[in-house]
């Protein structure tokens, strides 16, 4: 579960809170007031009328740019960010430069957020580098950009660079950095941030920050510290409860997760759809089929929450883990949503244990249609053939896998994240790594004799 996205929308909310809203109006000869362009843009934003906002600003540009100021451009960049159009704001970026607003830090920060929203990290970094005097808001925007675009390693490097520049992070920066730690499993860095939070007196330690800490500890495998932190949080919200329930679930502590769900509802905290993902995950890991079906049903019946594809995926996982492949097949065929790659991969993995060749081949074909021919899927399909002793077909799958580019792994050492692949000898101390591996192999062989 990813309980927060380190969202650009949150950053924009904090960004615009720093600016006064223009309240003045133009007076007509008839005594009526006409809203200024910025006020109209603001109303369009509130109504999510992004097309109208863009048309308004374009009309103003054609008539006279004197009615446009830095606030107008801030609003329109926010509109483009919400729309997530890959080219829309580039025209307004040009206008920002033409009108001489490129030196205004909050205009530049809004552009960083825009380029992040459309997945254009090079331009986000380029805009950031052009900011002459950087503050913690623009640093947070860039760190968030890399977290949101699945580059948590780079995000943590930027977080360290920010500290080298003697800029103290606020609670938003720390929340984003903790999200990166959770994605990477960087427990040491997460603990360092926790200690920083403890010793910083003037920090706004809001519930979002504590929830980010809780999420980090559960995802990094320190469930005991997560439990201690959870018990210490006084005003828990639905995210707090959900994070802890999910933490128990991913650590195979199904009974604890279910008990916590019961305590949550007893405390009159209504669960959301993410909470039910955690509960269904717990049931799946413990093969609690009947309980999983029950929670899946009360989700919509008692709480009027519409199941998403991830909830259906949890049910497929539940049935597959319990060895109920035919029931899983029937469930998929009756689902109101189209099964995704994760669902079919779950089926394929279960077939590699049970040796269901027909269902396995169907799952493999579906995966090829959705994501192309991936090496991991060939490995799973080869395992299905191996269980049924279909050695010729298994050998063909293995040959396909051997021709592929290997994936990489990562490890945290001293708050640094290192990536490597199998048989990689480029590292300076790679010979020591292989020396240790060979020693471990000899020890294991001697123990088997």
CATH at residue 100: 1.25.40
CA distances from 151 to 114, 142, 420 (A): 17, 11, 16
Domain boundary residue, one of 192, 210, 232 = 232
Clarify whether residues 55 and 142 are in a common domain.
yes
Which range among 32-46, 209-223, 422-436 shows the weakest confidence by mean pLDDT? 422-436
* The pair of three-digit structure tokens given for residue 271, joined into one six-digit string: 């669960």
| Nearest-angstrom CA–CA distance, 16 and 22 | 12
Q: Are residues 21 and 41 in the same domain?
A: yes
Range with lowest mean pLDDT among 117-126, 166-175, 437-446: 437-446
In a domain, residue 305? The reply is: no
Residue 30: per-residue pLDDT? 38
Q: What distances in angstroms separate CA 390 from CA 210, 294, 361, one per listed residue?
A: 52, 39, 13
What's the total number of domains in the chain? 3
Same domain, 98 and 196: no
- Residue 185 region, left (φ>0) first, then alpha (ψ -120 to 50), else beta? left
- 132 lies in the same domain as 196: no
Instruction: Count CA atoms within 13 Å of residue 111 on its CB side.
Output: 30
- Regarding whether 13 and 123 lie in a shared domain, the answer is yes
214 and 121 belong to one structural domain: no
CB 245 within 8 A of CB 278: yes
Same domain, 2 and 44: yes
pLDDT surpasses 70 at 283: yes
Tell me, yes or no, whether 16 lies in a domain: yes
Q: Is residue 53 part of a domain?
A: yes
Contact at 8 Å (CB) between 279 and 257?
A: yes
Close Cβ partners of 21 (under 8 Å, ≥ 6 residues apart): 42
Does 194 fall in a domain?
A: yes
Same domain, 61 and 137: yes
For residue 310, pLDDT over 90 is answered with yes
Please tell me the predicted confidence (pLDDT) of residue 422.
Answer: 59
**DSSP letter, residue 1:** -
> Do 3 and 129 belong together in one domain?
yes
Distance CA(351)–CA(295), nearest Å, equals 26
CB 320 within 8 A of CB 328: yes
In a domain, 388, yes or no: no
Domain assignment present for residue 169? The answer is yes
Q: Is residue 75 located within the same domain as residue 176?
A: no
Q: pLDDT tens-digit profile of 106-130?
A: 889 999 999 999 899 999 999 999 9
Q: What is the pLDDT of residues 220-245, one digit of tens each?
A: 999 999 999 999 999 999 999 999 99
User: Of the candidates 100, 127, 149, which is a domain's last residue?
Assistant: 149
Of 121, 149, 177, the last residue of a domain is 149
| Residue 122 falls inside a structural domain | yes
Full-model pTM: 0.75
| Nearest CA-CA partner of 183 in 210, 148, 158, 209 | 148
- Does residue 202 share a domain with residue 117? no
Q: What is the pLDDT of residue 13?
A: 38
Is the pLDDT reported for residue 263 higher than 90? yes
Whether the per-residue pLDDT at 405 is higher than 70: the answer is: no
Q: Which domain holds residue 211?
A: 150-232
Q: Flag whether 434 is in a domain.
A: yes
Same domain, 136 and 162: no
85 three-state secondary structure? coil
């Amino acid at each position: 579960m990813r309980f927060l996205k380190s969202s650009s929308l949150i950053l924009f909310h904090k960004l615009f809170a720093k600016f006064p809203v223009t309240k003045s109006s133009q007076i007509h000869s008839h005594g009526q007031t006409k809203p200024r362009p910025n006020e109209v843009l603001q109303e369009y934003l509130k109504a999510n009328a992004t097309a109208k906002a863009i048309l308004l600003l374009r009309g103003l540009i054609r008539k006279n740019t004197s009615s446009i100021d830095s606030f107008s451009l801030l609003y329109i960049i926010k509109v483009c960010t919400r729309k997530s159009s890959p080219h829309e704001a580039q025209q307004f970026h040009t206008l920002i430069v033409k009108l001489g607003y490129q030196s205004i830090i909050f205009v530049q920060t809004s552009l960083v957020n825009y380029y992040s929203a459309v997945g254009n990290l090079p331009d986000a970094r380029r805009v950031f580098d052009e900011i002459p005097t950087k503050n913690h808001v623009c640093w947070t925007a860039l760190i968030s950009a890399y977290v949101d675009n699945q580059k948590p390693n780079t995000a943590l490097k930027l977080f360290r660079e920010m500290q080298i520049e003697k800029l103290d992070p606020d609670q938003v920066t720390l929340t984003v950095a903790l999200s990166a730690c959770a994605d990477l499993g960087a427990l040491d860095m997460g603990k360092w941030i926790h200690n920083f939070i403890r010793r910083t007196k003037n920090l706004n330690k809001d519930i979002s920050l504590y929830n980010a800490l809780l999420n980090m500890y559960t995802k990094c495998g320190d469930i005991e510290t997560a439990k201690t932190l959870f018990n210490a949080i006084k005003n828990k919200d639905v995210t707090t409860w959900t994070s802890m329930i999910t933490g128990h679930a991913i650590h195979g502590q199904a009974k604890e997760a279910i008990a916590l769900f019961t305590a949550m509802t007893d405390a009159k905290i209504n669960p959301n759809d993410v909470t039910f993902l955690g509960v269904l995950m717990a049931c799946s890991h413990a093969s609690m089929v009947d309980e999983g079906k029950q929670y899946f049903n009360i989700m919509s019946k008692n709480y009027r929450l519409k199941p998403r594809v991830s909830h259906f995926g949890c049910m497929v996982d539940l049935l597959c883990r319990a060895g109920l492949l035919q029931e899983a097949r029937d469930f998929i065929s009756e689902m109101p949503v189209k099964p995704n790659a994760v669902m079919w991969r779950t089926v394929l993995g279960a077939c590699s244990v049970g040796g269901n060749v027909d269902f396995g081949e169907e799952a493999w074909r579906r995966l090829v249609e959705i994501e192309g021919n991936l090496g991991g899927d060939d490995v799973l399909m080869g395992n299905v053939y191996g269980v049924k002793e279909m050695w010729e077909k298994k050998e063909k799958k293995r040959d396909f896998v051997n021709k592929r580019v290997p994936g990489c792994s990562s490890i945290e050492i001293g708050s640094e994240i290192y990536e490597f692949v199998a048989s990689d000898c480029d590292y300076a101390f790679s010979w020591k790594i292989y020396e240790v591996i060979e020693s471990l192999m000899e020890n294991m062989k001697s123990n088997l004799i």
